[in-house]
A and B are shown apart, each in its own frame.
Chain A
Amino acid sequence: MALEVTNLRAGYGKKTVLTDISLRLGDGEIVAMIGVNGAGKSTTLNTIFGLIPPQAGTIRYNGQEIGGRRPGLNVLDGMTLTPQGARVFPNLTIHQNLTMGGYTIRHRSEVNARRENVFRLFPVLAQRLNQRAGTLSGGERQMLAIGMSLMMKPKLMLIDEPSTGLAPLLVTEMLEHLKRVNRETGTSLLIVEQTQQIMTIADRVYCMKLGRIAVEGKPERFMDREELRKAYLADVGE
């Protein structure tokens, strides 16, 4: 079991956003997390990753309790978070951004090797090595953001809305890239998404609502439009 979250409660300061989250992620599995804005999807990822301390519950990563520990330690253990909005360091070059993605890697030769690996997946980045990341297009920025996470050769990637700001065609392409990473390296993926296209690559889906998991199941179950709509809209009761 790559990740096992049990009865997780978390929030910002005294405010509780997640009331009771339990979820599992098997080795090499792709799990999607859907739900309306404000359901607590990003908060779930941020809490698992250690950016927000949990108020209650347990987070086990590869069998080890990691709740509340510093993100840097999770990164060292092969867990990465790709935050929402294709976040990169805009004033640094692509080369520097990737180096920062692999910040915790000791050896320079290893950093270079992994950078080449990222270029194999996203050749467009290799052509713009010394360009500032702020000048990239939305799609390229998202590739760079994913590339920064890939620098860590992650075993578990937490990815927050990789499709935001991308044209529909690029969304499909991006999801195919993620699927390819999963197939080639066996990396488990927990992807927060709003688009239906995520159903094409997900093994399992959690739907969140008001800080808890409302529905869980195979993508086929959600592909029924009625069911999907029910999951997305907050005003439709259970």
Chain B
Amino acid sequence: MLAQLPQVLVNGVVLGAVYALIGVGFAIIYSTLGVLHFAHGIVFVAASYLVFWFSLTMGVPVWLGIVAGIVIAVGLSLLINALIYEPLRAREARPYIVLVASIGTFIVLENLIGIQFAFIPRLFELPFSKVLLTPILVGNIYLTPIAIIIVATAIVLCVGMYLFFSCTKIGTAVLAVGHDTELAEIVGMRTKLVRYVAMGVGSALAAVTAILWCIQLGQVDMTIGWVALFVAFFATIFAGEGKIAGAGGTGFIMGIVWNVAALRFPTKWSQTILFMFVITMLWMKPEGVFGTRTGRMGK
């Protein structure tokens, strides 16, 4: 069993990288818009199915299909903000109204995509998939090129996000709007524009992640929306309110736990063990792993 440990940890790191990207994207939107953006799940479905449709059905060059998939999926999220969240905000709707509207939007869009492409998983084999999915033996660990790409992407994007938030004015503005929208308005920010920026950045992370993940899985599947959504939701809450980098950390932890659980128990237990772990942690530290009580003051 111990001999398997390095392999299990590597698998955990790869899944953790995916979960970290999912968590960070959702946390950016949640902390800035203050909306539990359930419709975030549709960005994963839309991005992966658009690439599938453009590149495998329409014959568009793969790179162009990927770019178009990301751009359209991000555009869709901006449209959701324009048509659902901003009007509800202007009418001062209660948070649970926005939540229900968000879930409804997700279900409607999910079904529209499902009706177009059938609800069953479809084979997602891009021209380079075979190469990317062929394992290489490093020492006694099997590694696929796509796994390396996923981890590298996660590192680059997380570092990029860190620089965006700590070194750029617009990045700091996104944080500021998340802490106190009215004060942001008072210092002269166009808070609405900042919310669109946050939505766009968070959704772009989701779209990139969805495409990489589907290449690794070798299929596109409607259920990715719900799976990603739950990961995002748990990673964000588990990290603590307003902790964007923290959501990356908890996503990562969740990926590791999932794989380590598989070391000892049958894989059908992985999900149960993961969420028992999360619930236990929340029970011990209700403000989240990285949460602080002072962090709530800004809300």
Contact = CB atoms under 8 A, between A and B. Distances in A.
Given A96-B172, A99-B169, A103-B169, A90 B297 contact: yes
Interface residues of B, number: 21
Given A96-B172, A104-B188, A134-B297, A87 B179 contact: no
Given A103-B169, A134-B297, A51 B186 contact: yes
A64 B98 CA distance: 39
A124 to B, nearest CB: 20
Interface residues of A, number: 26
A5 to B, nearest CB: 19
Interface stretch (A53-61, A69-77, A191-199, A202-210): A69-77
Q: Which of B175, B187, B189, B242 has the most CB of A within 10 A?
A: B187
B176 A71 contact: no
A148 interface: yes
A24 B206 CA distance: 53
A148 B187 contact: yes
A195 B27 CA distance: 43
Interface in A70-96: 71-72, 75-76, 80-81, 83, 87-92, 96
Interface string B284-299: 0000000000110110
A154 to B, nearest CB: 11
Nearest to B180: A89
B183 interface: yes
Contacts of B175: 89, 91-92
A25 interface: no
B172 A101 contact: no
Contact of B187 (A75, A90, A135): A75
A91 B189 contact: no
A12 B182 CA distance: 15
A213 to B, nearest CB: 24
Q: Which of A91, A103, A134 has the most CB of B within 10 A?
A: A91
B130 interface: no
A49 interface: yes
B89 interface: no
B176 A92 contact: yes
Contacts of A80: 186
B167 to A, nearest CB: 10
B220 interface: no
Given A71-B188, A72-B188, A91 B295 contact: yes
Interface string A87-125: 111111000100111111000000000000000000000
B186 A71 contact: yes
A236 to B, nearest CB: 34
Given A83-B183, A90-B297, A134-B297, A75 B188 contact: yes
The 6 closest A-B pairs by CB, nearest first: A75-B188, A72-B188, A104-B188, A89-B179, A90-B298, A103-B187
Given A90-B294, A91-B175, A103-B173, 14 more contacts: A51-B185, A71-B185, A72-B188, A76-B188, A80-B186, A89-B179, A89-B183, A91-B298, A92-B172, A100-B173, A104-B187, A104-B188, A134-B295, A148-B187
Interface of A: 49, 51, 71-72, 75-76, 80-81, 83, 87-92, 96, 99-104, 134-135, 148, 152
26 contacts: A49-B186, A51-B186, A72-B190, A75-B186, A76-B188, A87-B180, A87-B183, A89-B175, A89-B176, A89-B180, A89-B183, A89-B298, A90-B294, A90-B297, A90-B298, A91-B242, A92-B172, A92-B179, A96-B172, A99-B172, A100-B173, A100-B176, A104-B187, A134-B297, A135-B294, A152-B188
